[in-house]
Structure 1
Amino acid sequence: MLNLPGCGLITIDGQQVIVDANSQVLEWLNSVRAEIIGRPFDRFLTLRMPLADAGDVRPTDATLHGISGVVRPVVVGLLDEDESGTQRIAVYDVSTRSAFNLGFRGAEAKTERGRQRLQILLNSAVGFGNVRAEVDAAELLVDVAQRAFAATFVSVHLQQPDGVVQVAGTNPLAAHWPAGVRPAGAVTLVGGKVLVVREPQDAEAYAPGVGMSEVYRAAGIHAAIASPLRSHGESVGAMICYFDHPREFDEEAVPLAEALTNQAAQAVARIRLEETLRRAAMHDEVTGLPNRRLVEEDVTRTLLTHYTALSVIFIDLDGFKPVNDMLGHAAGDALLRDVAHRIRGVIRDTDVLGRFGGDEFIAVAAVESPGDAAVLADRIRVAIAAPYDDLPLGLPITASVGVVTVGNDGAPVMDQLIRAADHAMYEAKMAGGDRVTVGSTGAD
């Protein structure tokens, strides 16, 4: 029988029964000749298409099946056929090519994943460019990361004045978090690098000695990936993706997490800068105090959550115009800054102080009672009336002060309170100045 290196040869009769097979075929089938000869051809070889006629060079794909369970992809072709119908068939092993095809399909799948991730990044870039609030950026990051990583949960934590705070998403570890341990996201934020937990035990390396692996197991979390939100080299927060099943992370996982959190960090940094510039534009250039609009915002943010009574104190300087007329505007501006400093020294740090315009100021304070508000207003009056080193004795400065107070029985309307305090100040001014008048909102 003809033997070609690397080529299998099978001879079949007119009844499609194997009458001969070379050693290469026997090796591939992991069989001896007696197990092959006399058996039907299709018991060992499955053709995808019928064999072409002898002399036709077109091969066909087939699969070689051994008795022991061996399966090998091959290509077969008809070499020749005699008058009795006996055929010789050449068999070529293509398992290497099949492995290549598998690798190629794997590469195609990787390319498709890369395309999908790129599309996610492009879409999220547009989204992060449009957000106008930090919480919106955090919620968008949760949504994008959940889709990009097929995560079970995602939480986003931002650095705030009072520490690292979760602002969006779900943290399944929170209910099991050890007492005294820094909040979730803090290690990632401080370290500035992506952290990968492939199994609960890996978490021990990031928070040693506190049983973090048990925290993961108690929460039903098998794996996690955490990435800092970094803008211009500074970490402003952290994102954590959690998985309730074993999860492998390919080589693109860390770059993808970094890309998403960098987009979010840029959005947060932009929002914070815009807020800083906006607030800077709402401050008085002479005294540096907030203007009326910012006073109302600050009151809403800092005072209207916990208070027994709220007092609005309207202050108008007596004798300011002569200072401007006789000593010039520079002296007037210096006096306004000095007055602002004196008022700030009387009220608490948590109280709000602003310049209403001209020589008028507004102070808003949380107090225990209307009587306390009147005492505070009089202390402001006394502080303003004290002598000024840079002013001649003939130019005394005093203040007409109006004060109104409301209880914590509903959201106060700041505009109404300011008008009422302004009216009380006007009464103090008409009564000769250098005094405090307690007014009413009209609803009392």
Structure 2
Amino acid sequence: MRPIAADDLPCAIVRLDAEGRIVEANDLFAEWTGLPVAELTGRPFKSVRQRFAGVGGRSEGMVRLAHRDGSYRPVIVGREDSGDGAVLVLVDAADRAERERELMRSQALQERTRNRLELIIDSSIAFSAATSEQELVDILATTVAKAYQAEQSAVFLRDECGGFLQASGDNPLHGMPGGETLVAQASGLRNVLAVSGAAAADEVTPVLGAAMRGAGVHAVLVAPIQHDDLLFGVFVAFFLHPRQFDSEAAPLADALAGQAAQAITTLRLQRQLEHAAMHDETTGLPNRRRLETQLLEYGRATPALVATLFIDLDGFKRVNDGLGHHVGDLLLREVGRRLQEVVRQEDLVARYGGDEFVVVCEVPEVAAAEDVADRIRLAIGLPFADLPEGFPISASIGMSIARTSDPGWNPDRLIREADHAMYSAKNAGGNRVVGSSID
């Protein structure tokens, strides 16, 4: 049996002189470098290799061997030194290098996943602590920019007409037609839209590509803020640098948008409940509870002369009994509308209960309060379109006036005095104003 030659081995073998130059190499080494052995001879070994960046830095004993075509082959190097140089044994490590690269990708993915999970948890806590929609969308805009390392971000909420208004953040496409198209596109698709580069934006719509080029925006990510089938708005991340999106970009956007939508739903429900607790269901006016709260606030405000007008509808019972409660409700709503028309916007109009209303307003003098009361009486005495002839409506109004700085200021007493004065007006035949002031 013949001795095993260097070219029989499944590895590259190189002999170096004392200065690290190649003295001899087998055919496999020549194949891996793409250079003939004659050309390799005398060349420094370091000219055909470079260190390999592996997991956590440099992999022990691993280098990249350069090929003349510009490619590299990862190899593991064994070295045996001698007095006049060294012998190197190089083993193909492509499989090991690929495993290390896969491990690096896996570790990077795990790190990104951990960071994004922490971000989702932190944002959930922040969203739940928000006490207003404005605070919530400000948090969302900041969180989106941080999550995607975007230079700018913005949140758009739907208005009553179905359009979108910017509620928070910065929008570099503001005033450009493409900006509106971007928001409309995402809201129409009801899913996350990621656009990398103006050329990709052209495929969405040329006007968006033109807007991005004009504003220096390289990429955008848009997500609808929706809960079940209800769309609240969208958020947008703007990138002023080239950006490609990985497979986790859309799920993260969905998670942030979903959390924000749930928080908006909660805030709006809470606002509706608070409004319902303080407002009359039939007329939409503040109710008795809101009236009492407002009177307490008057007492803590700057000293002023305050008039409380207690209004009872003459003839309302005949409407309810003869025409039904539905017509009665229509009448109450119309009375509430007329009351709001004849007083100032800052004055309080409340439904006290039944067919009774209360108006509270600051006045410069008693005569001004009497003028307001008389305007109310005349407004209510006008014909009502929903009532047939034979059902006249008028108002008995009791008036109580006091200064908030007076020692006797008491909201309950103000209403009682106005209520008693109203009964005096009613007992006198109705359709009149009776005044009472607190000393």
CA drift of 1:217 comes to 2.6
Question: Which letter maps to 1:401?
Answer: I
Q: What is aligned with 1:412?
A: none
Q: Among residues 195, 198, 205, which one is paired with 2:196 in the alignment?
A: 198
Equivalent in the alignment of 1:141: 140
Residue 315 of structure 1 aligns with an amino acid whose one-letter code is I
Distance 1:206 1:74 in 2: 46
Shift of 1:17: 5.6
- Superposed, 1:326-341 pairs within 5 Å as 337=329, 340-341=332-333
Mapping 1:370-409, distance limit 5 Å: 374-381=374-381, 399-401=395-397
What amino acid maps onto 1:74 in structure 2? V
Tell me what 1:23 maps to: 27
* Aligned mates of 1:376, 1:229 — CA distance in 2: 46
Distance 2:293 2:219 in 1: 43
Asked if the contact 1:158–1:167 (Cα under 8 Å) also holds between the matched residues in 2, the reply is yes
Task: Quote how far apart the aligned CAs of 1:438 are.
Answer: 9.3
Contact 2:15/2:24 (<8 A) preserved: yes
Deviation at 1:9, TM superposition (A): 1.7
Shift of 1:358: 5.8
Q: Deviations over 1:323-357 (max 9, x none)?
A: 79xxx99x998897475245147457998853224
Q: Does residue 117 in structure 1 map to residue 116 in structure 2?
A: yes
Q: Deviations over 1:152-198 (max 9, x none)?
A: 111112223244322221222223347xx968734433431222222
Match of 1:304 in 2: none
Q: How does 1:224-303 map to 2 (within 5 A)?
A: 224-284=220-280, 290-294=286-290
Distance 1:15 1:114, change over 3 A: closer
TM-score, normalising length from structure 2?
A: 0.70
Residue in structure 1 matched with residue 167 of structure 2 by the alignment = 167
- Matched with 2:105 is 106
How far is 1:285 from its partner?
6.9
Please state whether the residue corresponding to 1:90 is helix, strand or coil.
strand
- Structure 2 contact 223–254 (Cα < 8 Å) conserved: yes
Q: What TM-score results when the alignment is normalised by the length of structure 1?
A: 0.69
Residue 91 (structure 2) aligns with: 92
Change (3 A) 1:342 1:364: farther
Q: Report what 2:150 is aligned to.
A: 151
SS at match of 2:262: helix
Q: Give the distance between the partners of 1:42 and 1:314, measured in 2 at CA.
A: 100
The residue type equivalent to 1:76 in the other structure is V
Change in Cα spacing, 1:254 to 1:439, as seen in structure 2 (3 Å) is: farther
* Alpha-carbon distance change, 294 to 4 in structure 1, aligned in 2, over 3 angstroms: farther
Aligned equivalents of 2:393, 2:46: Cα separation in 1: 114
Residue 34 of structure 1 pairs with residue 38 of structure 2: yes
2:208 is matched with which residue? Answer: 212
For the Cα contact (< 8 Å) 1:378–1:436, is it kept in 2? no
What is the aligned partner in structure 1 of residue 126 from structure 2? 127
Instruction: Measure the CA separation in 2 of the matches of 1:155 and 1:33.
Output: 63
- 1:113: Cα distance to partner? 1.1
For the residues of structure 2 that align with 1:79 and 1:193, how far apart are their CA atoms? 61
Distance 1:441 1:215 in 2: 67
C-alpha spacing 1:255/1:70, structure 2 compared with 1 (3 Å): closer
Q: Which runs of 5+ in 1 are unaligned?
A: 49-58, 299-310, 405-414
Give CA-to-partner distance per residue, 1:305-327, whole Å, 9 cap, x none.
xxxxxx9864134688xx79xxx
Equivalent pairs counted in the alignment come to 394
> Which letter does structure 2 place at the counterpart of 1:378?
L
2: CA distance, partners of 1:198 / 1:101: 29
Deviation of 1:258 after TM superposition, in Å, equals 0.8
Q: CA separation of 1:237/1:70 partners in 2, compared to 1, >3 Å: closer, same or farther?
A: closer
Query: Could you tell me whether the CA contact under 8 Å between 2:399 and 2:422 is conserved in 1?
Result: no
1:9 and 2:13 are equivalent in the alignment: yes
Residue identity over aligned pairs, in percent, reads 31
C-alpha RMSD of matched pairs (Å)? 5.0
